[in-house]
A and B are shown apart, each in its own frame.
Chain A
Amino acid sequence: MSNSEPVTSFMAESPGAPANADVAAYAIRLGDDALILSHRLSEWSAHAPQIEEDIALANIALDLLGQARSLLSYGGSFSGRSEDDLAYLREERRFTNLQLTELENGNFAVTMIRQLLFSCYQRELYRDLESSRDAQLAAIAAKAVKEVAYHVEHARTWIIRLGDGTELSHDRTQAALETVWPFSHEMFEDDELAHRIADLGVAPLPSSLRPAWLGAVQDILTEATLSLPGDEWKPSGGRKGMHTEGFGYLLAEMQHLHRSHPGARW
C-alpha cells in the first residue's frame, strides 16, 4: 500500500467498506501501527520484570491487537482482503507501520519510552478521529480512545518512577529517550496520502497533532527529571514500506505459523 500506487476513486466493493482506496490505505496504516507494536509488546510475555507487569504489557498488547483487527478488517474490505491476509501474507515492504512501532524492545526503559511516545500520539489521533467523517473510523477510535488513555497512564507512571528513581534508572531512561526520540518525528509527517485524507475530512493532518502531543510528553518528561533530546536526526520511511533491520525477524516470527499451516485455527 505504498503511496506510489495509483489513486483510485472507484466505488467500494461492499456497503460497509471504505469509501475509496485512500481511506482503505489510511486504515491499514493505523492497523499496521497497532499490529506491529502489539507484537513487540507480546515478546515481553514471560520476560517482564515482574509477573504483574507481564500481565499489564500483555493487556496493552491485546488492546492494540483488537484495534489492529478492526482497522485491518475495515481497510482490507475495500480490496477483498481479510485481516489475516494483511497480517500474515504481506511481505515486509508492504507493511506501512511507523518505524517507531517496530523498534526492538531493548531494556524495560526503551519499551516504556516507546510506549509513552506512541500512546500519547495515539491518544491525540483517536480523539480527533472520533469526529471523523468516516463513520467506521470514528467508531473504532471512540472505542480505542479509552484503552489508549490507560496505556498513557501506565507508561507515565513508569517513566516518572524510572526517570526520577535511582541514578542508574535515570541514566538508562534518558539513554532510552535519546534512542527512541528520533523515530517520533515520523508520526507527524504529512505525506501525500495524509493530505488527501485530511482534505476528505477523514483524519487530521499528522503535523497538527504534534503541539498537543509535545505538550503532554514534555510535562511527563519534566516530572521524570528527563531532558528533551534534540531534533537533529529524523529517520523515516515506514509509511512507504521501508523498515528497520529487526523488522524482518519480527515478521518471520509473526507470520511463520500461518505460512507453514495456511488457515490454521486454535
Chain B
Amino acid sequence: MSTPPSPLWEVFVRPARGTNHVHVGSLHAEDATLALQNARDLYTRRNEGVSIWVVRSADITASSPEEKDSFFEPSADKPYRHPTFYTIPEGVEHL
C-alpha cells in the first residue's frame, strides 16, 4: 500500500456500569466515527464493554521516560501520604 497509514487512535473501554474506562489498545482510522466503529469491532466482540472512548493518539500528552525520576521518585519515601496510619473503627464494613 502506497497510501500513508490512517491516524492512530487510543481506545478506552468501560467493562460495566459504574466502572472506569480502561485503556485497551490502539487502532488506525480515518476519522472519529470510523475509529469508534473499528473499536467496537476490535475490542468489544467478546462482550467486553458497555461504553467506548476513542482519542487521537497525537492529542495525548504523555510523561517522558527520562522524567521518570523527577516525576515519580520523590513520592517513594513519603509513606505518610498513604492512608495506612488510620485505625478503622470496629463495625465499619464498607470503607
Residues of A in contact with B (beta carbons under 8 Å apart): 49-53, 55-56, 59, 150, 153-154, 157, 161
Contact = CB atoms under 8 A, between A and B. Distances in A.
A202 B45 CA distance: 32
Contacts, number: 29
Contacts of B30: 161
B42 interface: yes
Interface of B: 1, 6, 27-31, 33-34, 37-38, 40-42, 45
A51 B38 CA distance: 10
Interface of A is mostly: helix
A153 B37 contact: yes
A131 B34 CA distance: 33
Given A50-B6, A50-B28, A56-B38, A157 B45 contact: no
B41 A59 contact: yes
29 contacts: A49-B1, A50-B6, A50-B28, A51-B28, A52-B27, A52-B28, A52-B29, A52-B38, A52-B41, A52-B42, A53-B38, A55-B38, A55-B41, A55-B42, A55-B45, A56-B37, A56-B38, A56-B41, A59-B41, A59-B45, A150-B40, A153-B37, A154-B37, A157-B33, A157-B34, A157-B37, A161-B30, A161-B31, A161-B34
Nearest to B34: A157
Contacts of B1: 49
Contacts of A56: 37-38, 41
